[in-house]
Structure 1
Amino acid sequence: MALNFLGPAPRLSYQLMSPIRIQTTQNVTVEYEVASVGERILAAIIDNLILIAWLFAWVLLFSLVGVQDQILSVMVALLVGIPFVFYHLACEVFFNGQSLGKKARHIKVIRLDGTPPRFGDYLLRWLLRLIDTGLFSGLIAVITIVSNGRGQRLGDIAAGTSVISTKPRQGAGALAPTFTEPGYVVIFPQASLLADHDVATIRQLVHTGLERENYLLLNEVANKVKSLTGIQTDLPDEAFLRTILRDHAHLAAQA
């Protein structure tokens, strides 16, 4: 199997978060780490700093060029107010479920049915942001996220989404071999066609791709595995590769 390894991944050090299991429409269970409240707060702080910097940059520019007060008010309202209002919606739509703050903290929005979030999902999250974070300085969002155990604020509950960590799980090394539960049902029997060294390479590349948020790498690995095994599936690349690793581990244990 010709897969180029990008080099050893550095050690990880971050707080372990509660996992959630997502049952996809193809009856595949995928496990993710829920983004912690702390990470989401840090992401929000980064986003707010970016917006504040945007505001001061334009105010300073207009002041330097001597724009009249009335015109200044209109320009600030247009060039600053609109980004303030639509920042999170635009970022999540165009950046695959991530604002700039979320990207910096390695967290992202996903749907709980395993399908990619749609515009309507992002729109619901954005509309309810006013309640979640606009009232009581975000206390409603914090209480909701902590209490429901699935990393959901009100906007997530309405949209059927959650916010998860994109970092590889702590203590998993290079995605340590998976030990399946009794009664586990193999999704892709073709996983038995992969040699042990192929699976080790896949595991390492998935770890690297997740850590570096290199989704192109995950796509290339997924396509390579599909070509070797003849598997045809619409599962997202990460979910597909994790399932292949679990299936191979189970089949190897039964051999």
Structure 2
Amino acid sequence: MFTVRVRAQPPAPARSADRWADAGLVSGEAVELDVRAARLGSRVLALLIDLLVQVVLAAALSAGLSLLLLFLPTAIVDAALTGALQTVLLVLVLVGYPVLMERFVGGRTIGKLAVGLRVVRADGGPVGVGQSLTRALVGVAVEWPGLVLPLLSWVASVTVMLTDPRGRRLGDLVAGTMVVHTRGAAVWRPVPLAVPALLGWAHTLDLTRLDDGLALAARQYLGRVHQLVEPERARLGRELWAEVGAVITPPPPWAAPESVYLAAVLAERHRRAVDRLRRTRGVAAMLWPELTTSPVAAPPPAAPPPAATAPAATAPAATAPAATAPATTAPAATAPALAVPTQPDPVRAQPAPVDAEHPAG
């Protein structure tokens, strides 16, 4: 089994904004969680999506409210009732929407779901109803739409988000919450292919002693080499190549980085596996063609014709009119031919006993 020994990485950069796990969340086992805090750009994008949803929701509720007022008696419909219903509608859209969504969708609204954000407590736990309500009320009052000094509150909110290490807004500071990313920002990178100069050497390799565990370790190293830091990246590459080079022959023709050797070995191993699979499928296609053909293109073969011994079995029946044999004797004459269709000799020998029992004159 391949064992990887990894030392602690060098200290993280001084600025927390340059780190991946900049949310500062720590689990109960005192392990820092690899989570990013949401910044101004992603949160504004989520807010714009939520605003579009709220506009559609407000239009639908307004249509329903208009229908309700039409069916109410004219005596009770006045400006006070209309204003009260409009206020309730506004509260439902601006406060009820985020609170209910964060309560039942795990701290996410539709905009946060689209962008990949989630509201959590400052310690990383799930957000509660009281905290969601506090965030919504503070947001409506001093952030968006900002009922108290709109322009000044907008500037203050943006300033707080830009200066806070976790990108929190005023509602987060009051409620004790924060917004984090739920999706990783790592870029998928394929395994490097073999360089053309090593293809000839790779074709001559003996890979019989390269087991799956060691090949998987090399594959994972090449897939994550861009995430490692020096000098650990070079040291781990040297250790992996030392183990791989000890089980393959011949040695490489010229000096190159260890990752180049590993990529050439894995590419050749993959090529040989594809060739073996192609040959196996070719043999299976010859032995069992139905596996590689469609039932519509290749219908099943027709049923075989009746047994070839049927005419021989009916030969004695041709003499039945001349012999004036009773009708009950015909099945007895043909029964042996049906019971033993693959033995023609006893069938041919049966006309003599039939003629003996019923002489012709």
Q: TM-score range by the shorter chain?
A: 0.5 to 0.7
**Structure-1 residue corresponding to 2:133:** 123
Deviation per CA, 1:87-115: give whole Å up to 9, x if none: 21221122111111111211111233232
Is 1:35 aligned to 2:31, yes or no?
no
Is 1:105 aligned to 2:115, yes or no?
yes
Superposed displacement of residue 45, structure 1: 1.6
Q: Is the 8 A contact 2:26 2:33 kept in 1?
A: yes
Name which structure has the greater RCO, CA cutoff 8 Å, separation 6+: 1
Aligned CA distance change for structure 1 residues 29 and 102 (closer, same or farther; 3 Å):
same
**Structure-2 residue corresponding to 1:149:** 165
Unaligned runs of 5+ in 2: 1-16, 191-212, 224-231, 241-361
Q: 2:176 aligns with which of 122, 137, 160?
A: 160
**Structure-1 residue corresponding to 2:59:** 56
Q: Is the 8 A contact 2:58 2:93 kept in 1?
A: no
Amino acid corresponding to residue 53 of structure 1 in structure 2:
V
Is 1:91 aligned to 2:94, yes or no?
no
Superposed displacement of residue 74, structure 1: 4.7
Q: Is the 8 A contact 2:95 2:133 kept in 1?
A: no
Q: Is the 8 A contact 1:126 1:155 kept in 2?
A: yes
Aligned CA distance change for structure 1 residues 17 and 98 (closer, same or farther; 3 Å):
farther
Superposed displacement of residue 37, structure 1: 0.9
Is 162-171 or 141-150 further displaced after alignment? Answer: 162-171
Q: Is the 8 A contact 1:111 1:161 kept in 2?
A: yes
Counterpart of 1:110 in 2: which secondary structure?
A: strand
Amino acid corresponding to residue 171 of structure 2 in structure 1:
G
Counterpart of 1:30 in 2: which secondary structure?
A: coil
Counterpart of 1:116 in 2: which secondary structure?
A: coil
Amino acid corresponding to residue 169 of structure 1 in structure 2:
A
Superposed displacement of residue 72, structure 1: 5.0
Identity of matched residues, %: 26
Deviation per CA, 1:117-174: give whole Å up to 9, x if none: 2334323323322223324363322211110121111222233322122221143659
Superposed displacement of residue 18, structure 1: 6.1
Deviation per CA, 1:163-216: give whole Å up to 9, x if none: 122221143659xxxxxxxxxxxxxxxxxxxx7869x99xx9xxxxxxxxxxxx
Amino acid corresponding to residue 47 of structure 1 in structure 2:
D
CA RMSD of aligned residues (A): 3.8
TM-score, normalization by structure 1: 0.54
Q: Is the 8 A contact 1:17 1:36 kept in 2?
A: no
Superposed displacement of residue 73, structure 1: 4.6
Q: Which has the higher strand share?
A: 1
TM-score, normalization by structure 2: 0.39
**Structure-2 residue corresponding to 1:132:** 143
Aligned residues: 172
Unaligned runs of 5+ in 1: 1-15, 175-194, 205-248
Aligned CA distance change for structure 1 residues 110 and 64 (closer, same or farther; 3 Å):
closer
**Structure-2 residue corresponding to 1:227:** none
Q: Is the 8 A contact 1:33 1:169 kept in 2?
A: no
Counterpart of 1:113 in 2: which secondary structure?
A: coil
Superposed displacement of residue 26, structure 1: 2.0
**Structure-1 residue corresponding to 2:263:** none
Q: Is the 8 A contact 1:62 1:72 kept in 2?
A: no
